[in-house]
Chains A and B, each alone.
Chain A
Amino acid sequence: MSHAVIARLSAPLVWRRPKNMARKLAEFGATEAGSALDMLRASELCPDPRLRRIFLRHALDEARHARLFRHAADQLDPRARHELSSRAQSHQRLRDLYAELGAEAFLAFVLRAEQSGEGHFRALVNELGRSEPELATLFLAVAKDEQFHVAYSAHWLTRLAGPRRPARIRAERLSSLWLAWRRAGRQIGERVSWVLGVLLYFAVLPPFALMLRRLESDDPGWKPARSLPSSIEEARRQF
């Protein structure tokens, strides 16, 4: 439901202008590439042969999605991928989710993420079916893969967790809430340091700046030889 609403609301903003579309597709590409890495690592770490096989297949699906999205982004605007912010790309740095969570919690996480992904892409198919038929076809193909990912992770979660499955899913909801909260906390932290930085910049630093400008210049010449740290004691210093 919420996916449909979001798709409806975002359509005029995102899915009408090639530049914005390209950016969105590039972001999707980065996300899919990130999940491909998570799944690939899971396939290496998981001891169950059947699960590891299915994780590998899942990884290759996500890698294919990444390629499709990036290709579509490049078609619309070759700059989009280069301009992706480092934050949008940073979640590519995997956290070894499988190692952190263990098989059951990992599957609960995958189930939730894939459900959300499938919902999102199906909503976009509905929204863009007429205005962007090619993209809608792409999203539909991807949504079908996500459907398979939902199905297998649901199946395996039941199989491994049995009666604990509802608890696992509840815990996963909590943990993703917690993750979101942590992200918010981090953003608040960044804001605070930004405010501090601005204060420092305008209130405290100008006198020093004037002094420095008078004292030193960016002298382009060779600096004289100086001695390097020569003992463990000196090497402890950070300056």
Chain B
Amino acid sequence: MKVLGVSAYFHDAAAALVEGSEILAAAQEERFSRTKHDAELPLRSIRFCLEQSGLEARDLDAVVFYEKPLRKFERILVSHLRGLPRGAGQFTRAIGTWLGDRLWIRDEIAKAVGCPKDRVLFSEHHLSHAASAFFSSPFDSAAIVTVDGVGETATTSIFRGETNSSGSKIELLSELHYPHSIGLLYSALTAYLGFEVNEGEYKVMGLAAYGKPRFLDALASTCRVGSNAELEVDRRYYSWSRSATQSFTSRLEALLGPARTPGTPLVLPAAPGSAAERYADIAASLQAFTELYLLSLLEEAKCRTGESKLALAGGVALNAVANRRLIEEGPFQSLFVQPAAGDAGGALGAAQWVSHVLDGAPRAGGLKSALLGRAEDPAHVARYLDDCHIPHRRFDDRGALFREVARSLASGQVGAMSRGRFEWGPRALGARSILADPRGPSTRDRVNRKIKLREPFRPFAPAVLAEDASRWFEPVPGREDLTTAFMCSVAPATLEAQRELPAVVHVDGTARLQTVTKEGSADLYALLEAFRDETGIGVLLNTSLNLKDEPIAATVADAYSVFARSELDFLVVEDALIERSTA
């Protein structure tokens, strides 16, 4: 059965095409539309999925939307009704967008795809997250926990997934409902700290490393956690259920001090007694509160499922720092996180749910590589560079290209690589990455200078040959960590790494590593090998190929445009090498 999954109209729109257990294509719309977090119906991603797999719309057996739109509409209506007569403006705006397109989603999707209306199906929001985590994991049976801002009404869910000879099933064991949401609490404090919601959460995580959790008790007084991980958000401090624009109240500011104005400078490490110190401490407290909550949630999930393995998804599962703590201190032996854990991932999960649960397709070992996006045709790339008179050298031999790149990196150059299919999920995993030598104290500043405009307190991540990982980063003894292949957790750097690779170690001594295997990314693996031949070190600094506030590059033109507007020393696109000195 060929199933197209679609997510849209909330955060990150995406499409994914699944046949049986195989993921033929998956991409987030922002990569094509070049609008960050594009939430519109993902027309371009849908077209890409069909082209990539050589299918026509009529070949699709089902097209599945990642949630139940009417249930969500009901939640929005009800929460407005409860707030009456406050929030009239917000209500009328919401009605406008729903009457505009969202209530006719079946027709919209059928029209966009070009398929009959009765092929359009609807999953549930958290079920889609859960399916994406379970069916992408290698587990035959597992607890599945999904945690995000809010779906239709659920904010946190515990499922159990099982695959046996008679097929696959996912059972919902329990869920927490809106407005009680750890994800929305994290977002509210992201806004309080002056960052953009759904974008700044990473920054809060980076900021947390600079602070001390001295506001933990204060935060805990705004959100009660029950003995079995029930969560009760105090509405005197948080207003997301009453206002679309303001998620926290003046009472929260009375408790924690004034909120940070977006865009104002944040100098770190902060001077004692400064506002920056307070913000870092609040970030650290929020991070600690979230981790403690998730730990108690996992205990509850363990208790309800009796499983030893855990698959995790939902936006909160992108918190790499928390994930490490869950592996170390949580009750589960193994942890897997689906790389597109946010709402984009719902497109994949919805399709996998139809394929495995409703249609009974057998499974095949889980997600090995996140490179599911669009590749550029090397001939097109060559012609584009020629036509645009962009000086470059072409390499027929990949080994020779990577040797040259490894030498340039080892000599201190900072470059980018764009090859093959782009990544699924929010992280650059080497297919569209900026790379640098992780050694030397000045690398971090050099990279920051060349690509500019990034908050200097955000850490750079290392990509490491999987077989060398334990030399540089501490594994968790006795636990199976399946999150590092997709950069979904952090690990403490070894003493050697702290000494040798300062550019990729954050102030708290950890790194958000990506362990690279041949299966996961043949190109990055080969480049790391070439770099190790050159330097003895199989680690590279890896950050996404984009400038601030832009989606990660997809095409040759996107990649070149980043190169042209930055001071990167070189750019590899497919088998062409463009160098700053000659370009």
A residues adjacent to B (C-beta < 8 A): 36-37, 40-41, 43-44, 49, 52-53, 56, 59-60, 63-64, 67, 74, 78-79, 81-82, 92-94, 189-190, 193-194, 196-198, 200-202, 205-206, 208-209, 212-213, 216, 218-232, 235-239
In the complex, chain B residues whose CB is within 8 Å of the CB of A190:
96
In the complex, chain A residues whose CB is within 8 Å of the CB of B565:
60, 63-64, 67
Residue contact B174 to A238, C-beta cutoff 8 Å: no
The one of B78, B85, B96, B389 in contact with A212, judged by C-beta atoms closer than 8 angstroms, is: B78
In the complex, chain A residues whose CB is within 8 Å of the CB of B154:
223
The one of A53, A197, A208, A236 in contact with B118, judged by C-beta atoms closer than 8 angstroms, is: A236
> Would you mind naming 9 contact pairs between A and B with Cβ atoms under 8 Å apart?
A43-B384, A49-B386, A52-B384, A60-B561, A79-B263, A93-B40, A193-B95, A193-B100, A209-B84
Residue contact A220 to B38, C-beta cutoff 8 Å: no
Task: In the complex, identify which listed stretch (B14-22, B63-71, B274-282, B403-411) lies at the interface while the others stay far away.
Answer: B63-71
Residue contact A222 to B96, C-beta cutoff 8 Å: no
Residue contact B81 to A93, C-beta cutoff 8 Å: no
Given contacts A193-B92, A228-B124, could you give 14 more A-B pairs where the C-beta distance is less than 8 Å? A60-B561, A93-B33, A196-B95, A200-B95, A201-B88, A201-B92, A205-B81, A205-B84, A213-B81, A227-B172, A229-B124, A235-B358, A238-B68, A239-B70
The A/B interface has a contact count, at CB < 8 Å, of 167
CB contact under 8 A between A220 and B180, given known A44-B557, A53-B388, A236-B118: yes
Q: Which residue of B lies closest to A42 (CB)?
A: B557
In the complex, chain A residues whose CB is within 8 Å of the CB of B118:
236
Residue contact A53 to B387, C-beta cutoff 8 Å: yes
Residue contact B91 to A201, C-beta cutoff 8 Å: yes
Bound complex: CA A197 to CA B96 (Å):
7
Residue contact B92 to A56, C-beta cutoff 8 Å: no
Residue B421 at the A interface, CB < 8 A? no
Bound complex: CA A60 to CA B390 (Å):
13
Bound complex: CA A37 to CA B384 (Å):
17
Interface size on B, residues (CB 8 A): 76
In the complex, chain B residues whose CB is within 8 Å of the CB of A64:
565
Residue B179 at the A interface, CB < 8 A? yes
In the complex, chain A residues whose CB is within 8 Å of the CB of B81:
205, 208-209, 212-213
Kindly provide the distance from the CB of A205 to the nearest chain B CB, expressed in whole angstroms.
6
Task: In the complex, identify which listed stretch (B139-147, B227-235, B516-524, B537-545) lies at the interface while the others stay far away.
Answer: B227-235
Q: Which residue of A lies closest to B386 (CB)?
A: A49
**Complex A-B, nearest 3 residue pairs according to Cβ-Cβ distance, in ascending order:** A78-B263, A197-B92, A220-B232
Bound complex: CA A132 to CA B84 (Å):
48
Bound complex: CA A52 to CA B385 (Å):
10
CB contact under 8 A between A235 and B196, given known A63-B565, A78-B262, A222-B228: no
Residue contact B82 to A213, C-beta cutoff 8 Å: yes
Bound complex: CA A224 to CA B555 (Å):
47
Residue contact A53 to B389, C-beta cutoff 8 Å: yes
In the complex, chain A residues whose CB is within 8 Å of the CB of B84:
201, 205-206, 209
In the complex, chain B residues whose CB is within 8 Å of the CB of A92:
34-35
